[in-house]
Chains A and B, each alone.
Chain A
Amino acid sequence: MYNQTEILKDTSELGAEGELVINMGPQHPATHGVLHLVVTLNGETIKKIEPHLGYIHRSIEKMCESLTYRQFIYVTSRMDYLSSHINNLGCALLVEKGMQIEVPDRAKVIRVILSELTRIASHELWLGAMAMDLGAFTPFFYAFREREMITEIMEDTCGARLTMNYIVPGGLMYDLHPDFQKKVKAFVKQFKAKVTEYEDLVTNNIIFQSRTKGVGILSAEDAISFGCTGPVARASGVSCDIRKIYPYEVYDKVSFNEILDTAGDSFARYMVRVKEMNESIHIIEQLIDNIPDGDFVGKTKNVLKLPKGEFYTRVETARGEFGVFVVSEGGTTPHRIKFRSPGFSNLSALNHMAVGSKIGDLMATMGTLDLVIPDIDR
């Protein structure tokens, strides 16, 4: 029987005297998806944050176990949909590693260029969304203008704007579009011209700086113990760029800097991402004129079978380290598969970072964590 007084008694135990428990999400403008945060407040000050997950769980890991090694790659685009290309790359690298497939140089270079374009697109969207979380609506549209150029390049070459599925084990699905180099160069030019706009509108803005500086501080020790990766950890001074530490594809042949900051606050995370966009542009500039000729896909067997054993690869997505772990029994499908998604670990630090700050700070902290909810829930 439904007993209202009992239920009311239950909820009253949730918050102590003077505490206010509010449910942020699953539908909330700032969570950018179906994240549910149970926030305990004392006035405006946050006392505790408890993320509730599972609203967008699609059991992608289980799904992948019933798909062949050619097929499971496309599903991973649906996890971190903003860096879908890099997710696909991680899975393809695993299959190539397990079966010792030779990837032609041309494919390797193109994969890196597209990965960096994906990273820029993801950071552009993050920049707009984060500014919007802080109440500035206009940078969102300016960021989307540049992102649109990237999605158009993707559309031309890969045939899709978001879930590209352009990478297959052994190389690429088909060759580059003839206009690819021209369009990428046009984008690089436009990006360099327009990046000052973000500085005027967001970076140097006094309100933005005061909203983000000293907010949501994460120390290097905490970043390591929470397992944070990507720009979140690098802003705290933890060197964790997979592209540098375990270079894959041609990352060991291009020169780029790992952006590090030591402040560990929201502004540092913001600056790391903005500088990373410039580094990505730098990588693209090095490679765009040096795409080697040759095949775009290596020789593979028709049916892919991973040898018996355990395999792990990692790649650096726009959000951090993305790991794929496969246990193979020697069949055509993985026996067990596990994805290590960066968003999940980054979210776990949220409570630690936001306790004691105001509700407005929570938006700045959450915004700079760059959460993509399907990536967390899978």
Chain B
Amino acid sequence: MFLKEYITEVYNGVSSLLKGMRKTGYYFVHPKEIITEQYPDNRAHLNLAERFKGEVIMPHDENNEHTCTGCTACELACPNGTIKVVTKFEVSPEGKKKKAIDALVYRLELCTMCNLCIVACPSDAIKMAPNFEHSVFDRTKLTKVLNHPGSKIKEGIE
């Protein structure tokens, strides 16, 4: 009886090992199953999710206009002081003073992509962009001004 047990033990052990080898052998002879992506090569047709949180951007339309009113809601919502809103007063032709942004400073090196600023923004002036290639040689380049030079606020946004 001992011998029978011994032999079944050996047989079961070997067959379990062979089953595993069949599985790996299957993948070895089926190169179609390969799932890796060739990243720098497939950059042109890289399929990124549209919601991917890569960095904060401020969309501008063709007249170089944005919708940021400078309300600092994003600055308040940010947990780590990533955003700094610098405001100025614009004097309109009628002589009215109007608050507007001078610069929306965004420090990418502090950002954790938590999306709280986007949710807080009342005028949808900023959004997340699916850009993830952020590496630069100089740290100061990570501090960005989101509004384009010479841009101004869109008409009718309060």
Contacts and interface: CB of A to CB of B under 8 A. Distances in A.
A–B: direct contact at CB < 8 Å: yes
Interface stretch (A150-158, A219-227, A271-279): A150-158
Interface in A136-155: 138, 145, 148, 152, 155
Interface residues of B, number: 23
Interface in B3-17: 12-13, 16-17
Interface stretch (B45-53, B60-68, B85-93, B138-146): B45-53
Contacts, number: 65
Contact of A197 (B13, B23, B119): B23
A16 interface: no
Contacts of B1: none
A74 B19 contact: no
Contact of B79 (A75, A156, A160, A168): A75
A168 to B, nearest CB: 7
A34 B22 CA distance: 37
Interface in A90-112: none
B87 to A, nearest CB: 21
A197 B27 CA distance: 11
Interface stretch (A41-49, A202-210, A251-259, A280-288): A202-210
A206 B12 contact: yes
A165 B23 CA distance: 38
A200 B22 contact: yes
A157 B50 CA distance: 9
Contact of A201 (B20, B53, B79): B20
Contact of A155 (B23, B52, B77, B115): B52
A159 B128 contact: yes
Given A74-B79, A160-B53, A163-B112, 12 more contacts: A70-B77, A74-B112, A74-B114, A75-B79, A155-B52, A200-B22, A201-B20, A204-B16, A204-B20, A205-B17, A206-B13, A207-B17
7 contacts: A70-B77, A71-B77, A155-B52, A159-B53, A200-B20, A204-B16, A206-B17
